[in-house]
Amino acid sequence: MRKFLDPRSLLFLILFLIIPSASFAQIAVSIRIGPPALPVYEQPPIPGDGYLWTPGYWAYGPDGYYWVPGVWVRPPRVGVLWTPGYWGFEGGFYGWHAGYWGPHVGFYGGINYGFGYGGVGFVGGHWGGGGFMYNTAVMNVNTTIVHNTYVDRTVINNTTVVNNRTSFNGPGGVTARPNQQEQAAMHENHVQPTSNQLSHEQAARQDRSQLASANNGHPGTMAMDSINGRRYNQQGRAANGVRNGQPLRSNAAKLQGNGQNINRQGEGNHQANGGRTTPGEKRNMNRQQNGASRQTNNEKRNEKSAPK
């Protein structure tokens, strides 16, 4: 009996034949449903010198879209920069173009991921002087522990639409196209995501609070300070306790308020000391954050034992 390809398989075969292999390798998944809008969140402080920021993104798995938290990571080697992945819409399908490491930042769909990734290139820092130089105008770097920093506010484009949360390139989304520098970067030697980055994505995939279908576009964990490190969202670490458990509703708002108070205290100390946070203040904030987390864990245990 003669077998025929279904229309989608036939389209896949045509694309495989006409798209150059270097470009096709970037398309990891292709689906008909578009990704949710990018959530708004704050960048965690850098855990130490030598880390580079990789923005959060919506990935796709068997249960639909899930949020992979933005995270500080160690690059695979000195001198490389991260080009974020992006979703592109064309021919009725959304295709994921995976991110990569390379000597220059390439095209990432014109998506405004924030924290130095405004849609074109990267303005959060550069390699030089034997290490990475961080631009604290757009990166959350504590200058008391990381000294190779500078401030360049000229890279901040005041015309940027702050609420631009579009998460894909193509009709109905961002209409950017690669410029000359991005095209050149696309043909350089690339390094694939590290094993730590892959495990970070896998962990997000297994966390149901990260599923768009479960969180309505507001993931339980927006960002992390390192792989398997401290978790963050808009309200701070205490609010992350709501992620896997369900604290008693009467106390949930209180826990999130505690996190907001801790954050405001840290911001006040930061401003009062000319943009610096002293080691003593940092230890005090860590103690408060740990206390808030213990309180959240207690609330989760109370919820499990509470009458249904």
Task: State which amino acid sits at residue 9.
Answer: S
| Domain spans of the chain, in order of start | 27-234, 238-308
Task: Tell me, yes or no, if the pTM score tops 0.75.
Answer: no
CA distances in angstroms from 82 to 75, 160, 268, 299, listed in the order given: 8, 22, 32, 39
Residue among 35, 31, 34 nearest 11 (CA): 31
**Cβ proximity of 87 and 68 under 8 Å:** no
Q: Note the pLDDT tens digit of each residue in 77-133.
A: 999 999 999 999 999 999 999 999 999 999 999 999 999 999 999 999 999 978 999
Q: Note the pLDDT tens digit of each residue in 124-182.
A: 999 997 899 999 999 999 999 999 999 999 887 644 444 468 999 999 999 999 999 99
**Cβ proximity of 209 and 217 under 8 Å:** no
Q: Note the pLDDT tens digit of each residue in 217-239.
A: 999 899 999 999 999 976 545 33
Backbone φ and ψ of 81, nearest 5°: -125, 155
Q: Note the pLDDT tens digit of each residue in 179-202.
A: 999 999 999 999 999 999 999 999
Mean pLDDT across 40-67:
95
Structure tokens at 48: 């130490």
Q: pLDDT grade, residue 23 (50/70/90)?
A: very low
